[in-house]
Amino acid sequence: MTGTGSRPTSRRTLLLAAGSAGVAALTAGCAGAGRTALPAPADPPTNPPSPGTASSPSCVLTLESGAGPYYLDLDRVRSDITEGVAGVPFRLDLTVVGASAGCRPVANAAVDLWHADPSGTYSTGGATFLRGTQLTDAAGRCTFRTIVPGWYAGLAPHFHFKVRPDGRTGTTSQFFLPEDLLLRVYARPPYNRRKAPKHPNARDDRYRAAGAATTLSPAPEADGYRAAYTIGLA
């Protein structure tokens, strides 16, 4: 694995310290300063996928207090995070709800997604491929368009994600994929340029211990796949 790296703060980076209401205000205020409005979350699926609903979180994650305000990089606020990287298309529809608040949608939460490319490499430094951020809409929804992640080291292939509902708390976790799907994908180009492990998931102790709770249930869509997941915040 190549490390995730850091990126210098620039004019395209906003400091978020005022909670969810502040997120909306800050991004709206910046939209008129030499930039078009931030992209709206994608339309909800016309045929809602089976995994998770707003009233039934697929998992519940505990928020952790941060060390201080966090940053929203406007260059990475986007739905399509591929930047031309070849791979099997994957659409991920996420919904964020407050599990301790009657599963009400969490609006204006910043959701970060990042993962490895088919060669198992992460973007670093100034590179931004396969990394992006979305702000949840009034229904707590956002959509990422990416590709199936590659494998590396001895870990189960995964998407990293982080949910930041305000300027004080956040939580980070991973999404996994069914092993049979991974084996089908890894037999296709460009993934088949490397010999994939016989059991991409089973070799990872962490996946065997807790992967079931965050394993997606993708359905075929065109030449790729699509999955939905509801994240509950404790």
pLDDT of residue 13: 57
pLDDT of residue 50: 38
Q: Which residue positions in the chain have pLDDT lower than 70?
A: 1-55, 66-71
- Give, in degrees to the nearest 5, the angle at Cα 44 between 218 and 136: 95
pLDDT of residue 12: 61
- Give, in degrees to the nearest 5, the angle at Cα 2 between 82 and 181: 55
pLDDT of residue 160: 96
Handedness of CA 216, 220, 224, 226 (dihedral sign): negative
Domain positions in the chain: 13-40+52-233
Domain 13-40+52-233 CATH (choose: 3.40.50.300, 2.40.160.40, 2.60.130.10, 1.10.287.470): 2.60.130.10
The pTM of this model reads 0.80
pLDDT of residue 17: 42
Nearest 5°: phi and psi at 23? -60, -50
pLDDT of residue 30: 31
